[in-house]
A and B are shown apart, each in its own frame.
Chain A
Amino acid sequence: MWRSHSFRTAISRRLVLAALLPLLVVAVVSVILVRGMLSDQIVSSNDLSAIALATQIEQSLEVPKAVVAPYLGQSYQEILDTEDPGQHWRDIIDGTPEIESLLLLDDAGIVQAAALETRTGMQGAWFVGLDRSRDRTVASSLATRKPAWSDVYLSPMTGEPALSYVVPVRAGVIVVNLTLSEMVVFDIPEELSALPVVIDGNGVPIFYPDEIVLAQRPNVRSIAIVDAVLSGGTLAHGRYTWQGTEYLGSARVVGQVGWVALAMQPWKPARETILGSQYVVVLLIILAATFAMTLAEPFSKRLAQPVSELAAYADHVARGEYGSAPTGFREVELQRLGSALHDMTDAVKRREQDLAASARQYRFLVESLQAIPWEYDMDADRFVYVGPQAERLLGYAPEVWTDLDSWAQTLHVEDRDAAVNACVMATGHGGDHNIEYRVVRPDGKVVWIEDVVSVHADESGGVRLVGVMIDITESKEAARLRVAAEAADAASNAKSSFLANMSHELRTPLNSILGFGNILLSRLAGPVNDEQERQLGMIVRSGNHLLALVNDVLDLEKIEAGAMLVEVDEFDIAELVSSAAEIMAPMAKDRGLSLDIRVPEAGLLVRTDEDRVRQVLLNLFSNAVKFTDTGGVTIALDTVNDHARITVTDTGVGILKSRLEEVFDEFKSMGRPGDNPQGGTGLGLPISRRLARLMGGDVTLSSVEGTGSTFVFTFALTAPSSDDGGGAEVVSVH
């Protein structure tokens, strides 16, 4: 019935309702009460009237009793003796309008004397001798010796309705005939305003204010209250319709004669009075209603205002505009509501911040993944979400993948069917699965993807695939490299094993050759001629050269193969430089060269492979001596940048600038033996450089042809530790 409406309207309505409901109740009650009260008033007025009417009739009925009272103790004979009916009785009758005639009857019912109203024109004597014993009332009284009232009858004397009262005297009876119209002259008080009606025992009116109605002899018994009284009731009242008019009436029995005194008032004027009162009540209610409605408007406005403010505030909050809640309400409930809204806003704000932080973290987390999260609605064939990394990792904007086909199109053509099938199968089995495939970036590069896919059912029963695409290109590459490295390692190990074997296999026959050559030269095995001695010398020199060559080659290969280990010892390099120079001193002396050694007097402690350092130093020193014909060799030791530096300067032939690097090339050194008149394998410098580098340093050369060369050997004061850290003192080269 009520449509959606504002709070204010609701308050208005309820205010009006609250005001009107009691008013309405009061109105209805008043309307009923007014009706009831007025009805009651009329009823009681009618009751009074009916009782008054009955009383008046009863008084009229007392009239004949008063008249006959003096004679009750006498016999008709005594009355005849003492009374003069012709004069006295006629006077009484003429002075008493109710009485039409008086008859004195003997015990047989024969009229002994009579007197009639003068207006009848009849003489009492005319009735003397008539036998009234057959009259029902007379007969009854004679039989019972009790007074009796007749029914209403038409008087044969006057033709008018009449009534007889028959009362026994000591002997005989007296009949008092009464003129009904004279008995029912009523004095109804004006204020009672009820119509007086007298009804005989048959329900026929014997008095009615309207002569015409009286002449019509209506059957008043049809009125329920009259019937009720005629049927034995004493007093009855009620509303009824009589001859087309509605009346309120009261009926009262007139006991002696069995009549009914009816007082009735037309209902219409009473009803109009009632209606008037009711209209006044209704009018008052309408006025009150109007007043209530007029007041309800501003009241509801005032009451609704804070609610509107709070609602507006809530709207602001809903839009994310967190102000402070309206305050200052007088009503406790509104204060509480405002305060609650305020608290709620704080909570919402806090939660929103938490949520934002959480979302931020999540986004950071998701977006920092080297993976692309995604969600796909199987039923709608639609990607619900594709992580923004798709752009970065695969070069495709997330929007590119709309449906399964658009995704499949970005796959490597060889992987496409398998990947799509895997997805479809996964959906069918409802299981999680990982698939690998290749995505072809827009720039043509191929990216390996591992897609971790799980299957979910959403709230509506639809199937969703959720997955993460992980770029596994690097690990694929690493795997490939690892395989290659492992192959290389295997080759290197085989080579090392081969070298070790070869070193043994090469040296054993060489040592035999040299041993037996030297045994022959020392003539331990017998005499040797010169020619033999010269040839044996050639075998031993060539053998030694071959042995040196084999050792160098093996060293070189060892280094190359990573089998050369740096054994870390702590020693004084200054001392080592000096002792190495000492070794070369005889040779320099032989060649007439000066040897200048400059080392710090305090010495210099280093932690590295002493043997290798010595090997390099001897190589450099020997080369300097070997390749210097005149002048001398200068050896200097110092430190630079945590490195020890040994500078070997000679005044030899020098080296062409274009060949500076070739001296370190093992193959160049080895390839041209003719270029090496000083003997040697030619592998010393390459090995020296590799050893220096092994120890965190280097061997470099600067030279001016014809003037001399300067070799600089550097190595770390502390040998670099190995990566694996397993043996702190050993550095290996891979």
Chain B
Amino acid sequence: MFLVVTLAVVACGLIPACTSHREPIVIGYLGGMSGRTTDLGVAGRDGALLAIEDTNLAGGIAGREVMLLPADDAQDATRAASAFRDLEAAGALAVIGPMTSAIAVAVAPLADELKVPFISPTTSTDALTGKADFFYRLYPDNSSAAHELATVVHDSLGHTRVAMIYDLANSSHTETWARNFTAAFTDLNGTVVASDQITSGQLDTYDVAITNALVSDPQCVFVLANALDTARIATLMRNRGFEGHLITSEWSATEVVIGYGGRAVEGMMFLNTFDRESSAPAYRDFAERFRKRFGYEAGFASVHAYDATRLAVSLLEGAQTREALKRELDGCRSYSAVQGVVSIDENGDVVRDYFLMTILDSAFVRAE
């Protein structure tokens, strides 16, 4: 008998314990993570990742683990569609993304076709308004942002002559922006004295644009380009002796601008859709954890991706289907974000506060 018991004990020790797993809930992420400009895509992915990790730490969705499936759109419409199909095939109940308007315009119809809620944290294009049932935009549209910026430039900074330089490489974003800003600024009795395009990477177009801008004697130059280009343009502008205000957009305001712009970008201003200096505990906690987790400061892309993912997760608590999620999203009039409650107006547009930021001593700070 002793023998039997011992053998049983030995055998028990050798047999691995079985653990039962329920399939995790999959949430997709679509963003540009390869190609020249990956900062938005990577930052958004990291924000979404942190949201998923937080969710899983809190017990998942209805007790089920959640998994983020990141997909690279490579900022290419074809690759983005393919990636989106892959995510749908992988069972994603929602796809967080994209981070850029061009991809949103390209993929939103596919989301409708596949009936996968597609929640974009950072796209601002209003080209899809009323066209794509499964596409949700948690970022203010261009026109409102442009209007806000125009107001700040005109009213707060007191400028009436503004020159614009924008990048054609992201024309779906920049051209709309330029148009909306021009309209808004003109409405405020301001004048857009120059509006020049550059093509990223083509240095000669920079010189032309800068020359044109400076010739128009602007009080302020609004640069709508990626961070490196913005740094370069700022440097060139300052080298040419321009001493007026430099304005840029939120998506250029990364550490690259400071790292490559140096003194040239000191005092550059931009509108932020979140308050970097917020003392909201949820935000401070998020920002701290994000820095520890990924080693860099959370920008707007990370913050909004985090919020968008949290929203999707919270709406999936009831029923874990795409249809249910869509119903929830359609009925959603506000949601909790790290910097407070974000409301959604009757048009489905988020209503956000804007914060005027500047670069002071190599840091992004609120412009007083």
Contact = CB atoms under 8 A, between A and B. Distances in A.
Nearest to B53: A219
A59 to B, nearest CB: 24
Interface in B35-84: 35-39, 42, 45-46, 49, 53, 68-72
Interface string B1-42: 111001100110110100001000000000011111111001
Contacts of B236: 129
Interface string B92-130: 000000000000000000000000000000000000000
Contact of A134 (B1, B13, B263, B296): B263
A202 interface: yes
Contact of B295 (A24, A204, A271, A285): A204
Contacts of B239: 129
Interface stretch (B137-145, B150-158, B224-232, B324-332): B224-232
A27 to B, nearest CB: 7
A389 to B, nearest CB: 65
A282 interface: yes
A271 B11 contact: no
Given A152-B295, A159-B35, A201-B295, A130 B262 contact: yes
Given A130-B232, A131-B235, A134-B261, A219 B7 contact: no
B236 to A, nearest CB: 8
Contacts of B10: 27-28, 31, 278, 282
A158 B228 CA distance: 11
Given A131-B235, A134-B262, A219 B293 contact: yes
Nearest to A267: B16
B38 A154 contact: yes
B264 interface: yes
Contacts of B188: none
Contacts of A216: 49, 68-70
Interface of A: 1, 16-17, 20, 24, 27-28, 31, 109-110, 121-123, 125-127, 129-136, 138, 151-154, 156-160, 200-204, 215-217, 219, 244, 271, 275, 278-279, 282, 285-286, 289
B38 A121 contact: no
Contacts of B258: 134-135
A652 B34 CA distance: 196
Contact of B14 (A1, A125, A204, A279): A279
15 contacts: A1-B1, A126-B232, A130-B235, A130-B264, A134-B262, A135-B262, A153-B296, A154-B39, A156-B37, A156-B226, A156-B227, A159-B34, A160-B34, A200-B295, A282-B14
Nearest to A17: B2
Given A24-B6, A130-B231, A217-B46, 5 more contacts: A28-B6, A131-B263, A132-B259, A151-B295, A215-B71
B335 interface: no
A202 B262 contact: no
A20 B296 CA distance: 63
Contacts of A159: 32-39
A131 B6 contact: no
Given A275-B14, A279-B14, A289 B34 contact: no
B340 interface: no
Nearest 4 pairs of A and B residues by beta carbon: A131-B262, A202-B295, A159-B38, A135-B259
A553 to B, nearest CB: 119
B321 interface: no
Grouping DSSP codes into helix (H, G, I), strand (E, B) and loop, the B interface class, with mixed when no group exceeds half, is helix
Nearest to A219: B293
Most-contacted residue by chain B among A27, A133, A215, A289 (CB, 10 A): A215
Contacts of B34: 159-160
A133 B264 CA distance: 11
B293 A202 contact: yes
B256 interface: yes
Contact of A130 (B35, B39, B260): B260
A204 to B, nearest CB: 6
A270 to B, nearest CB: 12
Nearest to B260: A130
A131 B46 contact: no
B294 A289 contact: no
Nearest to A125: B203
A653 B74 CA distance: 197
Interface in B258-286: 258-264
Given A1-B1, A130-B235, A154-B38, A204 B259 contact: no
Given A28-B10, A126-B232, A204 B293 contact: yes
A590 to B, nearest CB: 139
Interface string B289-311: 00011111000000000000000
Contacts of B7: 282, 285-286
B98 to A, nearest CB: 15
A390 to B, nearest CB: 64
Contacts of A282: 7, 10-11, 14
B199 interface: no
B318 interface: no
A17 to B, nearest CB: 7
Nearest to B34: A159
A228 B366 CA distance: 38
B171 interface: no
A127 B206 CA distance: 13
A201 B294 CA distance: 9
Contacts of B16: 271
Given A122-B201, A129-B239, A217-B294, A134 B33 contact: no
Contacts of B70: 215-217
B262 A132 contact: yes
A271 B256 CA distance: 48
Contacts of A278: 10, 14
A205 to B, nearest CB: 12
B167 to A, nearest CB: 13
B216 interface: no
B38 A160 contact: yes
Nearest to B236: A129
B6 to A, nearest CB: 5
Contacts of B11: 282
Contact of B36 (A16, A31, A157): A157
A298 B138 CA distance: 87
Nearest to B226: A156
Contacts of B293: 202-204, 219
Contacts of A200: 295
A528 B68 CA distance: 201
Contacts of A24: 3, 6
B56 to A, nearest CB: 11
Contacts of B314: none
B39 A134 contact: no
A219 B6 CA distance: 42
A179 to B, nearest CB: 13
Most-contacted residue by chain B among A131, A278, A289 (CB, 10 A): A131
B203 A126 contact: yes
A591 B37 CA distance: 209
B192 to A, nearest CB: 27
A109 B35 CA distance: 28
Contact of A215 (B36, B72, B261): B72
Contacts of A136: 259
B362 interface: yes
A200 B296 CA distance: 12
A676 B19 CA distance: 157
B3 A123 contact: no
Nearest to B70: A215
A301 to B, nearest CB: 21
A123 B264 contact: no
A393 B226 CA distance: 145
Contacts of A1: 1
B294 to A, nearest CB: 6
Contacts of B292: 202
Contacts of A28: 6, 10
A216 B33 CA distance: 11
Contacts of A125: 203
A109 B69 CA distance: 41
